[in-house]
C-alpha cells in the first residue's frame, strides 16, 4: 500500500502538470481515479488465485501418480467462484498421490511472507499440502505445508511461508523454508499424498501469497 499521502499528492500533482491541468482545477473524481491507479501500481507484490470460471482455474492442471504408473484419479470442477478438486487415491503400483498444479513466473513470490487459503472439505481424515517447487525434476527437494480440514464448513488458513517444510518425494527431510529460495519458485501445487487410499474432496475459494 502507499506509505505517504504527502508523497502521493505530490506525485499526483506532477502527473497533472505533465497532462497540462492545474492542480486547483482537479475534480474529485479525477483525483480519486488517480489515487486508485497509484495504489494499484504501488501495491505489494504477490499472487492471488481467485478460483472460478471467470478467474484463474484454467491455469491449473491435474498431475496424478499415473505419471509413475500409479492408479489414483482426480478431477477439477469449476464453479462460479470456486474450484472443486476431488478424486480417489490408490496405493497400488507404488502410487498414492493426486494433485493440481500451476506454473508461475520466477520472482513472482519474491518478498512474500505469508500464504492464505480459503477452502472447505468433507475429507477431515485426509491431509492436504501446498508445495512450492524450484525444479522440474521430481527427485529434487521442494517445500510443502500440510494441513487437515477441521470440518465441512469454510475455513481460512493463513501461515508464514517460513513454516513450509523441506521434502523429497513426499518424505520430510529438513528444516523450514528459507525465504531467499522464493525468487526461484516456478511451480505451485495442491496435493494429496498422505499414504492413504480412498476418496477426497476440497473446494477452494482462493489461494494468495503476499
Mean per-residue pLDDT, 66-82: 93
Question: Taking the domains of the chain in order of start, what are their residue ranges?
Answer: 5-41, 47-209
Whole-model pTM: value is 0.76
**What is the Cα–Cα distance from 188 to 166, expressed in whole angstroms?**
15
Q: What's the confidence (pLDDT) of residue 139?
A: 83
In the structure, what pLDDT confidence band is assigned to residue 5 with cuts at 50, 70 and 90? Answer: very low
DSSP tally for the chain: helices H, then strands E = 2, 13
Q: 47-209: what fold?
A: Jelly Rolls (2.60.120)
Q: What's the confidence (pLDDT) of residue 58?
A: 83
Per the CB < 8 A criterion, the answer to whether 130 and 106 are in contact is no
Q: What does the pLDDT look like over 99-130, one tens digit per residue?
A: 999 999 999 999 999 999 999 999 999 999 99
Residue 84's contacts (CB-CB under 8 Å, 6 or more residues apart) are 76, 77, 201, 202, 203
Query: Of 5-14, 54-63, 179-188, where does mean pLDDT reach its minimum?
Result: 5-14
Q: What does the pLDDT look like over 138-184, one tens digit per residue?
A: 888 899 999 999 989 999 999 999 999 999 877 888 888 888 999 99
**What is the Cα–Cα distance from 19 to 29, expressed in whole angstroms?**
16
In the structure, what pLDDT confidence band is assigned to residue 57 with cuts at 50, 70 and 90? Answer: confident
Q: What's the confidence (pLDDT) of residue 110?
A: 93
**What is the Cα–Cα distance from 18 to 22, expressed in whole angstroms?**
10
Amino acid at each position: 500500500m502507499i506509505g505517504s499521502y504527502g508523497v502521493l499528492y505530490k506525485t499526483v500533482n506532477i502527473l497533472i502538470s505533465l497532462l497540462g491541468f492545474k492542480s486547483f482545477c482537479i475534480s474529485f473524481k479525477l483525483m480519486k481515479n488517480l489515487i486508485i491507479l497509484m495504489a494499484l501500481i504501488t501495491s505489494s507484490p504477490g499472487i492471488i488465485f481467485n478460483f472460478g470460471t471467470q478467474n484463474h482455474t484454467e491455469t491449473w492442471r491435474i498431475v496424478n501418480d499415473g505419471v509413475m504408473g500409479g492408479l489414483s484419479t482426480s478431477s477439477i470442477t469449476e464453479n462460479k467462484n470456486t474450484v472443486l478438486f476431488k478424486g480417489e487415491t490408490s496405493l497400488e503400483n507404488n502410487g498414492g498421490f493426486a494433485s493440481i498444479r500451476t506454473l508461475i513466473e520466477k520472482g513472482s513470490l519474491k518478498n512474500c511472507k505469508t500464504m492464505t487459503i480459503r477452502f472447505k472439505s468433507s475429507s477431515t481424515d485426509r491431509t492436504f499440502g501446498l508445495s512450492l517447487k524450484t525444479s522440474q525434476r521430481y527427485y529434487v527437494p521442494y517445500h510443502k505445508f500440510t494441513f487437515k480440514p477441521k470440518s465441512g464448513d469454510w475455513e481460512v488458513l493463513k501461515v508464514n511461508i517460513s513454516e513450509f517444510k523441506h521434502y523429497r518425494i513426499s518424505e520430510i527431510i529438513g528444516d523450514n523454508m528459507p525465504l531467499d529460495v522464493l525468487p526461484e519458485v516456478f511451480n505451485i501445487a495442491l496435493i494429496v499424498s498422505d499414504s492413504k487410499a480412498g476418496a477426497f474432496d476440497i473446494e477452494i475459494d482462493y489461494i494468495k501469497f503476499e
